[in-house]
Amino acid sequence: MTDRCEEYPDAGDDLACGSEPDPEFDDPARGELDHFLDHLDDIDRDQRHFERYGSDDDHSLVGGLEAPLVFELGDIRSLLANWAFVQSAMSIDDPDRLMLDYTRQMMGFLLFNPSPESIEIIGLGGGSLAKYCYRYLPDAVITAVEIDPEVIAVGEQFFLPPEGDRFEIVCDDGAEFVRRDKRSCDVLLVDGFDRDGQPAQLCSSQFYRDCRSRLKPGGVLVVNLCDHHWKHAPILSRIRACFGVTLDLPVRIGMNRVLFAFKDE
């Protein structure tokens, strides 16, 4: 259902992945984002429920907030999943800017391949990675795979590029797409989540084997993990078993962890 995850403290949220801002990274954009996230934390969950549905009829707080919700404060427009975590955050004035730290870190694949011809993204969300790649990598063909049609439906509010020869959105399960589709790619970005975190099908050994097979020679797999770090060990072990060379980088702010895996040793 959901696709990307930069999580922060929230009452009753056992998936919270937050940390205090680092003074080294204190800037206006960071302060604006922190204010936005603090505002979300201050909203009572009953009020959140009312803002999502307008009434209490036929919706309980348990399991009733599964649909994505677009939330706006000042210059920031965000896609929220179940009011529990931020899937995407966008500056309305500068919609192609990468606001969340982990998205900037995922773009580190450019250090290894500065001009990829084909990029596939598992998990669309508000399209932060897709928009950035579309704008700054004009020679790349980008395919974004999103399992939730409701996420795709709000794409216009996040100024996604028009679909055409350079950009395609596929509504499908990411693991099934990687296994079944016959194309290959230079870069594969995996940023897929459901309401419980990392879906089992997107962190299995078979999935990572399929990812390696899908990559062209010299290809790079980039995986965003978002949960308590002690839960990452089995996932990291599976990736390292499938790829000869990996690079593991915790994100300084938040509890995301970005892993780069290379097809060629």
| Inter-residue contact 34 to 50 (CB < 8 Å) | no
* Positions marked catalytic: 191
| Inter-residue contact 20 to 28 (CB < 8 Å) | no
Query: Could you give the residue ranges of the DSSP H alpha helices within the chain?
Result: 28-42, 45-53, 101-106, 128-136, 149-153, 174-180, 205-214, 233-242
Query: Could you give the residue ranges of the DSSP H alpha helices within 84-217?
Result: 101-106, 128-136, 149-153, 174-180, 205-214
Q: How far apart are CA 197 and CA 78, in angstroms?
A: 18
Q: How far apart are CA 191 and CA 203, in angstroms?
A: 11
Q: How far apart are the first and last CA of the chain?
A: 34
